[in-house]
Structure 1
Amino acid sequence: MRQASGELRIETRRQGLVEITREIVDWTGEQGMATGLLTLFCRHTSASLLIQENAAREVRTDLEAYFARIAPEDPSAYAHDDEGPDDMPAHLRTALTQVQLTIPVSGGVPTLGTWQGIYLFEHRRRPHRRAIALHLLGE
């Protein structure tokens, strides 16, 4: 059994879903392990990780619109607004999603379904540099 760890840096430009599948697949392949378990961990409280359909752009658009409705940017709704009106809604959206994903690896690649992609979900409006911790345990 071997293990590898690393970090992926993602530059976001705006709120929304950023597909990071290619970067994850590339990093996993570079580790030279045929089988194992890959863990991804988003090191932030205002961004999250999702596995979601990557074929139809409308899926991403609808997800982004849904989260805007359930955690709106309404300054009168929240006590916490230290970094602006998108601060607390970003924390709520992260709480409703996840900051960690665990994906089996087979044949040296994450075993995603045909239409599945890995996404960083940026919940803040302005650009950010996000860090995703990567850990692969396998052989």
Structure 2
Amino acid sequence: AQGALELRLRQQVILSEFGVEALRATALMPLLQRATELCAEGMGAQFCKALEYQPSHDMLLVCAGVGWEPDSVGKAVVGADLASPAGYALKTGQPVISNHLENETRFRTPALMADHGIRRAVNVLITNRDGHYGVLE
């Protein structure tokens, strides 16, 4: 119980610190990179990525992240359709939690995630004044 309490307190500190950073930020990409770093730390995860929606191609571009191969950030893409966890979150406007991607029936596991052995995912929308920017996964 003590360990769980310490984790929750650390998560609150992370969230508070990120809020201050977000208010001071003048550039989006460094802020998204920091968000992925803090999200991974707070969740105890090896991987995290921010995905920017590319409406002209209906794709999500990995624009920031931690744990991925060096050439993934800025180049790797994921489908923004309902058949991917991030696309599902984007299109439905709802967060997506999948604890068993290999048994998931709502969508397929994108190759980028499968290639890295990822078996669980949480996806939340990133919004801005113009609407949905993308997804934090």
TM-score after normalising by structure 1: 0.24
Higher strand share: 1
More helix by share: 2
- Higher relative CO (Cα under 8 Å, sequence separation at least 6) belongs to 1
- Asked which structure has the greater CA Rg, the reply is 1
